[in-house]
Structure 1
Amino acid sequence: MHPMLNIAIRSARMAGNLIIKNYDFPNARTITQAGKYNFGTNIDRNAECLIIDTIHKSYPHHIIINAESSNSLSIDHDIQWIINPLDCNTNFIKNFPHFSVSIAVRIKDRTEVAVVYDPMRNELFTATRGQGAQLNGYRLRCTMSKDLDNTILATSYPYTARKKAIIYFSILSKLLTKCTDFRCTGVTSLDLAYVAAGRVDGLFEICLKSWKFIGGELLVREAGGLVTDFLGDHNYLKLGNIIAGNPRIVKAILANVRNEIHEVI
């Protein structure tokens, strides 16, 4: 096992255990609001501190990037840990039992290690570049769907970029005529993990922050899938527009977003 993967797993499990211990005690939560649509709690802050402390015990000189410092992804530093201690806070606050802990390690601008942990189901999704993706130790593969017929796609509403809502729903309506159904859970990291596990066939989202999905995108790629932006290129970390799935599904989704590209890039 990659030594950094071992630390990432340890950090994610510790943070997940802390979150679960506080799940059934809403009165113990202190809810804060950072912007109109962004909420936080003392629980995710404590989980973040736990992750940072665990990483720094083994790698005291590595930089750690979170939501507040996500714009630092392009800084000149060899090793970066990108953490999302609670994706998504809104589900946790509402006691909707679907959220995750997400951790990724990038070395010289390439994602090498990724962990997405669902503490409610005790499902640990892991990936190391070039060594495949796993769920609780079992190998993952994306679905083999050849087109959008009978597929289920994951997506999330662009709640932090509501000016793009018309464009988003235009894309959604085009895809609705081709696929079977959508899943909108609010947890992008788990959505990508589900693409890797074949639980959903593909994913598309717009205007995301990179820390929301960087842990999950390696899972998809290591499970035999593709991750692209809306041009079919690899600028999704910068642009925040992301399509994921097996190569044929990605191609099919790209064909349906083509006319909207100029509005979202």
Structure 2
Amino acid sequence: MTDLDLEALAGTAERAARAGGAVLLEYQDRVLEVTLKDERVDVSSSADLAAQEAVLAAIAAERPDDVVVGEESPSDTGVASEGLVWWVDPLDGSRAYIDGFPWFATAVAITVGGEPVVAAVYDPLRDELYRAVRGGGATCNGRPLRVATAEKVAEVVVIVQAQSSDPAVIAEFARLMRAMLTVSAGVRFPGAPALVMAHIAAGHLGGYVERDMNPWDVAGGRLLIEEAGGRVTDFEGRTRDASSRYDVVASNGAVHDELVAATGMQFEEGG
């Protein structure tokens, strides 16, 4: 990693994220072609595909030989974690976007050897660019980010999410929701995990819990949070390879152990 110019890579990531965001703004006034990825919940659209094309073109213009994996090209996920890999979520928050709810972004991240080193999460509606470089801090439109100062889970709102029509996944989501409602100041489910994690880095939210997340969903958000002073682990409190899928717990750091412990809470039937 020592021979990589991370600032230059971050510039490319920012331009790519902005290119995707510009497409999303353009497609807001169009009739979208919507595709279901499961029975009824997990969706994609023509806006997702067009935004990914824009992001990939921007990366290819400056880094034509790099490995790039996009959410809308899942067949490319069999990449080695040892090298440099770009992870692209062209439309983070597809359901919200399709419904006209103002909560979506374009997320671009780079991992090297499974470690996130560059992140750019762009919210085009607010023209907010969340950016991070490993060892260089996290910013939003150039302003340094710091996580919230809360010391206890009881003082923070926790995001708990799931995106599946699978009954087993829904049941586990309900258990996690109950666990977080039991210990936190409240629970929300806005979607768009990369944008959620950006707002944890900014100190607007205190925690986030979700099962089985892909690198394009959380690699960039993880770097933003870590560079802003927070923590991101799996449900066992372990730091994981960012180029793999894993169950995510993200927080401001101070409440992290409590949050991890809460993910293991069990409840008696009817209790």
Output the TM-score relative to the length of structure 2. Answer: 0.88
- 2:69 aligned to which of 65, 68, 79: 65
CA contact (8 A) 1:230 1:243 kept: yes
State whether residues 131 and 222 of structure 1, in contact with CA within 8 Å, keep that contact through their aligned partners in structure 2: yes
DSSP 3-state at the match of 1:206: strand
CA contact (8 A) 1:145 1:151 kept: yes
Shift of 1:34: 3.2
CA-based RMSD of the aligned residues comes to 1.9
Which of 32, 35, 38 aligns to 1:35? It is: 38
Q: Please state how far the C-alpha of 1:77 moved relative to its aligned partner.
A: 5.5
Percent identity for Structure 1 against Structure 2: 26
Q: 1:245 to 1:76 in 2, by over 3 A?
A: closer
Specify the alignment match of 2:239 in structure 1: 234
- Residues 97-150 of structure 1: per-residue CA shift (max 9 Å, x gap): 110100001123221100111111111100000011001100001111111123
Query: Does the 8 A contact of 2:180 with 2:186 survive in 1?
Result: no
- Aligned pairs (5 A) from 1:1-265: 2-23=7-28, 25-27=29-31, 29-36=32-39, 37-67=41-71, 68-69=73-74, 72=77, 74-75=79-80, 78-159=83-164, 161-235=166-240, 237=242, 238-259=244-265
Does the 8 A contact of 2:115 with 2:241 survive in 1? no
Q: Deviations over 1:174-201 (max 9, x none)?
A: 2212222122111100110011001011
Post-superposition Cα deviations, 1:204-263, rounded to whole Å, max 9, x if no partner, equal 111222221112111000000010100000237435211111222111111212346xxx
Distance change (3 Å), C-alpha of 1:230 and 1:100? same
Cα separation, partners in 2 of 1:239 and 1:21, compared to 1, 3 Å: closer
User: Contact 2:81–2:112 at 8 Å: present in 1 too?
Assistant: no
Higher helix share: 1
Contact kept in structure 1, 2:156 and 2:185, CA below 8 Å: yes
Residue 132 of structure 2 contacts residue 227 of structure 2 at CA under 8 Å; is this kept in 1? Answer: yes
For these two proteins, the number of residue pairs brought into alignment is 258
**Gaps spanning 5+ residues in structure 1: where?**
261-265
